[in-house]
Amino acid sequence: MDLSVRIGSLVLKNPLIAASGCFGYGVEYADVVDLSSLGALVTKGLFLQAREGHPSPRIVETPAGMLNAIGLQGIGARRFVEDKLPELRARRATVIVNVCGTTLDEYAEVSRILSDAEGVAAIELNISCPNIKEGGIQFGCSLNGTDDVVRAVRKVTRLPIIPKLTPNVADVASFARAAEEAGADAVSLVNTFLAMVIDIETRRPKISNGLGGLSGPAIRPIAVRMVHECRQTVKIPILGMGGIADARDALEFIIAGANAVQVGTASFVDPFIWSKLLDGIGDYMQRHHVARVADLVGTVVRGLKAEG
């Protein structure tokens, strides 16, 4: 059974990826998960400098989901390379670094620092965080901005570039196309949906930032639709995500058009989810006589089932 996934020059051993912002820097999970068993892990978003993020409370639960506004707390690119990357290398993790910036220069500079470091497999460009004013989203909500960021980073790295797209736009597929035309090797989608929860007793938002990003099973059908639309629009690999909680959900994304899937919120609930997902995908492939997971990508069947 071939579970491998190709993203530009990078080959993942399986399609399961820990999503950015949901897995710390990976090292936090080293006692719980064999990091080398994952297709890849995506780090928390990194700017050039350290950031403290928003005050508590930073999350609130909603039916089948959660809102977060962490505010991209992070240690900065250089400290990541010094403090976290050596352990990730030692544990043979495939590391995709989520790169943030407030300017094109910052995206390029962070990407250059990470490209020079040993042990970074790819760069995911955070152009879609809904929770901070000055970082990323202004690029990710404009086709020109998306084009600019990808081209700026393309100039400084040979690593695969994977812009992470926001669902908070009218037509996600047009952003996937802009990324592809600018030279991206793949796209990740979707980031969280901008949302709000209010405490009716105090009439205050339940998280400190006011607004936050909705994730979890509540968003899954919308995310599947967006992956499907992007699959019909671009040829580059898609890293699909949005509320995946079991192997069936992962397969749904793959069939919709994702080459690999990212899992975030569900690994909060079950940090041991990874082997269960892998087993479930394997069982499905056996049951359906699918030899390569790549053969499942974008195989939605149209129309009603024929009789007989």
Partner 1 sequence: MPFDVAAEVIANRPLSSDFNVLALAAPAIAALSAPGQFVMVKPGTGLDPLLRRPFSVFEVLRDAGGTPTGITILSKRIGASTSLIYDARPGQHVACLGPLGRPFTLVDAPTEAWMVAGGVGLAPFATLAESLRARGVACTLFYGARRAAELFFLDFFRALGVELALTTEDGSLGEPGRVIAPLDRQLAARAPSSSVMIYACGPEGMLAATARTAAAHRRPCEVSVERIMGCGLGGCYSCVVPMHSADGHAHHVRACLAGPVLAADQIVWD
| x-or-dash string of contact with partner 1, 223-262, rule CB under 8 A | ----------------------x-----------------
Cβ contacts of residue 256 below 8 Å, gap of 6+? 224, 225, 227, 228, 231, 240, 298, 300
Tokens representing 181 are 């035309």
Please, what is the minimum distance in Å from the beta carbon of residue 115 to partner 1? Answer: 26
Nearer to partner 1, 73 or 174 (CB): 73
192 binds partner 1 (CB under 8 A): no
- The answer to whether the beta carbons of residues 228 and 264 sit under 8 Å apart is no
Q: Which of 12, 22, 88, 159 binds partner 1 (CB under 8 A)?
A: 22
Give the residue with the Cβ less far from partner 1, 66 or 176: 66
Cα–Cα distance, 33 to 24 (Å, whole number): 13
Shortest distance, CB of residue 53 to partner 1, whole angstroms? 6
For residue 10, list its beta bridge partners. Answer: 7
Active site residues: 129
Residues 204-223 contacting partner 1, CB under 8 A: 216-217
Residue number with CB closer to partner 1 (146 or 215): 215
Least separation, in Å, of the C-beta of 65 and partner 1? Answer: 7
Residue with tokens 């901070």: 132
Q: Of residues 8, 76, 86, 271, which one binds partner 1 by CB under 8 A? A: 271
Min dist. Cβ of residue 206 to partner 1 (A) = 9
Q: Which stretch binds partner 1 (CB under 8 A): 53-61, 97-105, 136-144, 187-195?
A: 53-61
Binding-site size for partner 1 (CB under 8 A) equals 35
Interface segment toward partner 1; rule CB under 8 A; list 58-66, 80-88, 159-167, 196-204: 58-66
**34 contacts partner 1 (rule: CB under 8 A):** no
Name the one range near partner 1 by CB under 8 A: 59-67, 112-120, 132-140, 289-297: 59-67
Q: Does 31 bind partner 1 (CB under 8 A)?
A: yes
Contact residues toward partner 1 (CB under 8 A) are: 21-24, 28-29, 31-32, 44, 52-53, 55-61, 63-66, 68, 70, 73, 216-217, 245, 265, 267-272
